[in-house]
Amino acid sequence: MMAFIQELKIRNEALYYFGLLNFVAAILMILLAQFTSVKVYNVNAWYKPIKFALSIGMYAWTMAWYIYYLPSFNTGLFNIAIIVLLGFELVYIVLQAARGQLSHYNISTPFYASLYVLMALAASLVTIYTLYVGILFFKTPFPELPVYYLWLIRLGIIIFVVFSFEGFVMGSRMTHTIGGPDGEAGLPFLNWSYRYGDPRVAHFIGMHALQVLPLLSFYLLRNTRAVFIVSIVYALLATFTLIQALNGEPVKKEEKRGNVE
């Protein structure tokens, strides 16, 4: 692990420190969560920014690793875009959590509505930039990279982009619950609904293809055919959970307790 971190810092120092900052922020918010009773949607107000900080940190480190392979790529511009766009998103989510207020779906005032639109724009621009990186991985020859590893980088980026834009399923509905209200019982910390459809499941699975698939290929699969099979299965899993959510079905149903006679 230390060798990876040292290499990552060499490859892209700016995104290395940005990712590290997000991980440190997540740890601090985990501590804060232990000492607050403030809730948003019936869950600890700090849970959402913790999840976003961890996700942004993983994205920053992952892309720092990948773009190093691209010749003649404007790394500096990419770094600035990612840090500014995702930094803005996280700061707003953290500030709203500290105030016990919604960040997403909050259009209670023109100011909050504008910030919500800006968050959606920031996320979209990051996704489009990631898609551009993915296109470069298709167009550029990489004779030094194993073919199976290269394909899982490509496929991981494609799945990430598709299920990143899947976030508009929630944005267009102004809710992350289908078939019931937000804030009902859900899985611990993740808070995926026990009772209703929850598109966040597919969003989570699909976006983390960016890390999961290349790691599988590099350490386990090491075979191009296996890479395609696993990628298809992974994409189908994310798609299945999305269809399940759109039908109002939870990923895990709440256990019903009855009296035993």
Q: Give a three-class secondary structure readout of 1-57.
A: CHHHHHHHHHHCHHHHHHHHHHHHHHHHHHHHHCCCCCEECCEECCHHHHHHHHHHH
Contact status, residue 89 vs residue 52, Cβ threshold 8 Å: yes
Q: Taking all residues of the chain, what is their mean pLDDT, rounded to a whole number?
A: 92
Contact status, residue 52 vs residue 93, Cβ threshold 8 Å: yes
| Residue 261: pLDDT over 70 | no
pLDDT tens column, 25-62: 999 999 999 998 899 988 999 999 999 999 999 999 99
| Residue 112: pLDDT over 90 | yes
- 41's tokens: 């949607």
* Residue 259 pLDDT class (50, 70, 90 cuts): very low
| Residue 216: pLDDT over 90 | no
* Residue 254 pLDDT class (50, 70, 90 cuts): low
